[in-house]
Structure 1
């Protein structure tokens, strides 16, 4: 079981947390619930006809905690890469170690990406198609990657992509997260 720290509690961070927690990884989300989603109104999110962003956040946060992830409103002050782990320093000086770090906290997390050694150019963190940065086990999603083309459904999908990449890496093979209908 891996420990995954996610910085940011919008659709990208919570999307990653849901998949990882359901797969029983130690999943910790740090975010102050000040996501831009509270200023959104969803009307083009697949499967949702219309929903306010704050209501979406409430539902998503409940879903993620029910799956086993922890949500913590403590702010992350700094990140350091040590050997094959990340050391995350929280407000107040407490540190947390993680095997994987997912940055999903909007533009404010750019400095955390840079602290961890990731390439940050022109206001965005550089990633590949799986949202991996050039630092092993460090991922970035959402406005960090697409600042001028941010969209809730894209961010949630990016979070799910990250989670499946981590799950596959941990399993040593491709992992799929198929939902199965309940047995009758």
Structure 2
């Protein structure tokens, strides 16, 4: 594992957000995922997700959420209502408790208020989504947008998961000061 002490808030608990959270948590970063398990995946059926047998979206979500929490990420079942820059960190407020939390990085991966949250940070979007680079980086340093918000017309679970993983690897590389490769080796007999 790649050691790290940074923290990331992930807004959205569909494939993009959960994939980013999994990579970061696996590599010892503190990750908090906000979402109410209301992703569009519950209305999907996966036939083309590499390595996953034909499965329903709700079953996929259950496995993915468990995988992320088992790896150590915190899952908060609340809707983020506001994001803001707080010094050199990003702070969020939630609907349920109104509680504030902050982190070094912010990944916006969906949710009911995703577009307005991005816009509140000065990140503009259009009919083709929010303008990001291939790793999900936006024009705001340390803010990533992945998934349906970045590619509304090309939204697929496997594409979104890859985008989340790419954003996470970018954060890991940035923290390490060098390119990071997250290779896993099979256990030795």
TM-score in terms of structure 2 length: 0.94
1:138 alignment partner in structure 2: 143
Give the aligned length.
Answer: 184
Residue 124, structure 1, aligned to residue 129, structure 2: yes
Alignment of 1:101-180 (within 5 A): 101-106=106-111, 108-122=113-127, 124-180=129-185
Partner of 1:52: 56
Moved more, 108-117 or 161-170: 108-117
1:107 CA displacement: 6.4
User: C-alpha separation between the residues in 2 aligned to 1:17 and 1:40?
Assistant: 21
**So what's the TM-score if we normalise by structure 1?**
0.96
The list of structure 1 runs, each at least 4 consecutive aligned residues, that deviate by more than 6 angstroms after superposition, is none
Residues of 1 paired with 2:91 and 2:122: CA distance?
A: 13
Unaligned runs of 5+ in 2: none
The answer as to whether partners of 1:119 and 1:133 remain within 8 angstroms in 2 is no
Deviating more after overlay: 100-109 vs 43-52: 100-109
State the alpha-carbon separation in 2 of the partners of residues 123 and 181 from structure 1: 40
Deviation at 1:49, TM superposition (A): 2.5
Report how far residue 120 of structure 1 moved.
1.9
